[in-house]
Chains A and B, each alone.
Chain A
Amino acid sequence: MSDPLAGLYQELILEHSKRRDGEGLIEAFDAERFDRNPTCGDEIRLRIRVDDAGVITGLGWEGQGCSISQASASVLAGLAPGLTRVDLEGRIEAFRELMRSRGGGVGDPEVLEDAVAFAGVSKFPMRVKCAMLSWTALEGCLAQLR
């Protein structure tokens, strides 16, 4: 029997949920955001550091939640550093679009890198908010820098 959850729990996602890249709050930061999903209690505190040119130079987070939300934060920590605010906002939008695709989207690996592994999550409407948690927290941080 094929694993009906294979689309949801991609190997890369399970791996990231354990790796937890970027976990730990950075001391010096320019924006911080705490977000919580009240229905399931998942939460994240995310901090970023930005240089004068608007490039993200550091990202750290701490939080707790399901494998999807934790893996998503881990993937984001790999994606964000080195990108400008504007570039990152575009990628967050692309991720949101992918999550809203109800299983139809595949995601552009050029834009989303490892985050395309979450494409299958869009088939599980109850889990989309899990995947989005760290991304909306980052979006909140970026909004503070405008």
Chain B
Amino acid sequence: MTLTEGRVAQLRQDFPILQTEVHGHPLVYLDSGATAQRPAPVLDAERDFLEQHNSAVHRGAHTLAGLSTLDFEDARETVARFVGADSDEISWASNATDALNTVAIALAKANAAGSASGRMRIGPGDEILVTEAEHHANLVPWQELAALTGATLRWVEVDDAGLWGIDDMREKLTDRTRVVAFAHVSNVTGMIAPVEEVVKAARSVGALVVLDACQAVPHRAVDFHALGVDAAAFSGHKMLGPNGIGVLYLAREFGRELPPARTGGSMITTVTMERSEYLDPPQRFEAGTQPVPQAVGLAAAVRYLESIGMNAVEAHERQLAERLVSGLESIDGIRVVGPAAGVDRSGLASFIVDGVHAHDVGQLLDVQGIAVRVGHHCAQPLHRRFGVAATTRASAYVHTTEAEIDRLLEAVAGVRGYFGVDA
């Protein structure tokens, strides 16, 4: 089941920005992987909240305080249901990077006094395992945690296409592995990781599993309970929702063991001048004023995606990705990284144009109204592996049409000629 042409046309009406023109051309927005556009129901929900219910949550006795608290907690329930979690397992963060840092910092704090035990304990000789394909947000915090605890950071190497498999992961797992952190869906290659198999392998050595779900949750049905991960992170702005809000999923048992990364107001029970006691999750991880209108907007984005159906979203993007990858592969001098045509991937593709730097590619596409991402996509080690500093990435979403993919392909076919590098 995918989305019909008519359904996509109908959805497009919900996105005001898709009506704009760039350099005299109708905008072809193929950068949803970086930031997705927001449909009117999301914009309206945030505005309605601000106009009708806005006030501080979880404090105050006035009517608005009650209404805003209901909206805020309703948003948490909506998001929790969407990702197969319970609402006490969902904490708000400012974005996914922040959420991943929260886990790494909390683990560092748990180990700071040498008091951590069981699976929380990380020390010299222990190992933290990531992959070479990670976004910097799911790499640098683990480098920091390794440095702070004396643990060793290890990584699964990728092949020429930027891919890794469960066997590569198993090879690197040892009985000293304490944390395994990896992306569900790669933001560069579109590869879909074998999450359940990794969880199983990690469990067998007693390691925690942290999932970067930024490119997964917006584009396919995700069920954290079914996957069995201990922690996961994703961002609102990549799933048709607002900026300034991310989600940290902490499986109940893990969340209760984990100390707060940040402390202050709203996350305590009793405070004396000497010490404080903390609330249970999720509030334990929500120090300070929370992004309430953003949570309301994110819940609206979830409802919007649910109304389309995540299986339909995935099928639609899968179809577009196939057209994109096979089209790119048929153009001379273009090398697509990631899974080959015919192999499952998410709705994005990154590619290298022989002899032309990605920034020049992006500039030439922009002037034709086509927005793509160029650069290292916050994955420098992966690009080093490819032997380039930058690639061009096109990423689709619910509103993307086959005609837009074709416009991109046509424009890409003209790039090497424009820069005089075609043979």
Provide the bound-state CA to CA distance between A124 and B366, in Å.
Answer: 12
Whether A41 pairs with B390 at a CB distance below 8 angstroms is yes
Q: Of A50-58, A61-69, A97-105, A107-115, which stretch is located at the interface? A: A61-69
Whether B357 pairs with A66 at a CB distance below 8 angstroms is yes
Cβ contacts under 8 Å, A18 to chain B: 420
Whether A41 pairs with B364 at a CB distance below 8 angstroms is no
Question: Cβ of B363 < 8 Å from any Cβ of A?
Answer: yes
Q: Mark each residue of chain B from 371 to 395: 1 if its CB lies under 8 Å from any CB of chain A, else 0.
A: 0001110001001000001100000
Whether B359 pairs with A40 at a CB distance below 8 angstroms is yes
Whether B419 pairs with A14 at a CB distance below 8 angstroms is yes
Chain A nearest CB, measured from B298 CB (Å): 27
Provide the bound-state CA to CA distance between A5 and B418, in Å.
Answer: 10
B375 nearest CB neighbor, chain A only: A40
Provide the bound-state CA to CA distance between A43 and B390, in Å.
Answer: 11
Whether B23 pairs with A130 at a CB distance below 8 angstroms is no
Question: Cβ of A89 < 8 Å from any Cβ of B?
Answer: no
Whether B363 pairs with A40 at a CB distance below 8 angstroms is no
Of B356, B364, B389, B420, which one neighbours A42 at CB under 8 angstroms? B389
Binding site for A on B (CB under 8 A): 23, 356-360, 363-364, 367, 374-376, 380, 383, 389-390, 419-420
Whether B375 pairs with A39 at a CB distance below 8 angstroms is yes
Whether A8 pairs with B419 at a CB distance below 8 angstroms is no
Knowing A41-B390, A64-B389 touch, does A5 contact B380 (C-beta < 8 A)? no
Chain A nearest CB, measured from B220 CB (Å): 29
Question: Cβ of A20 < 8 Å from any Cβ of B?
Answer: no
Knowing A5-B367, A39-B375, A41-B383 touch, does A67 contact B360 (C-beta < 8 A)? yes
Provide the bound-state CA to CA distance between A64 and B390, in Å.
Answer: 10
A15 nearest CB neighbor, chain B only: B420
Residues of A within 8 Å of B, CB-based: how many?
20
Of A9, A14, A65, which one neighbours B357 at CB under 8 angstroms? A65
Provide the bound-state CA to CA distance between A4 and B369, in Å.
Answer: 12
Chain A nearest CB, measured from B44 CB (Å): 32
Whether B367 pairs with A41 at a CB distance below 8 angstroms is no
Question: What is the interface of chain A mostly: helix, strand, loop, or mixed?
Answer: loop
Chain B nearest CB, measured from A69 CB (Å): 8
Provide the bound-state CA to CA distance between A18 and B355, in Å.
Answer: 10
- In the complex, besides A14-B419, A65-B359, 13 extra interface pairs with C-beta distance below 8 angstroms are A8-B363, A14-B420, A18-B420, A40-B389, A40-B390, A41-B375, A41-B380, A41-B389, A64-B389, A66-B359, A67-B419, A68-B360, A70-B357
Chain B nearest CB, measured from A63 CB (Å): 10
Whether B389 pairs with A43 at a CB distance below 8 angstroms is yes
Cβ contacts under 8 Å, A9 to chain B: 360, 419
Cβ contacts under 8 Å, B363 to chain A: 5, 8, 124, 127
Cβ contacts under 8 Å, A124 to chain B: 363
Chain A nearest CB, measured from B363 CB (Å): 7
Of B23, B364, B374, which one neighbours A40 at CB under 8 angstroms? B374
Provide the bound-state CA to CA distance between A67 and B312, in Å.
Answer: 41
Provide the bound-state CA to CA distance between A123 and B355, in Å.
Answer: 25
Provide the bound-state CA to CA distance between A139 and B358, in Å.
Answer: 27
Cβ contacts under 8 Å, A66 to chain B: 357-360
Ranked 5 nearest A-B pairs via Cβ: A41-B389, A66-B357, A66-B359, A41-B376, A4-B367
Provide the bound-state CA to CA distance between A4 and B368, in Å.
Answer: 9
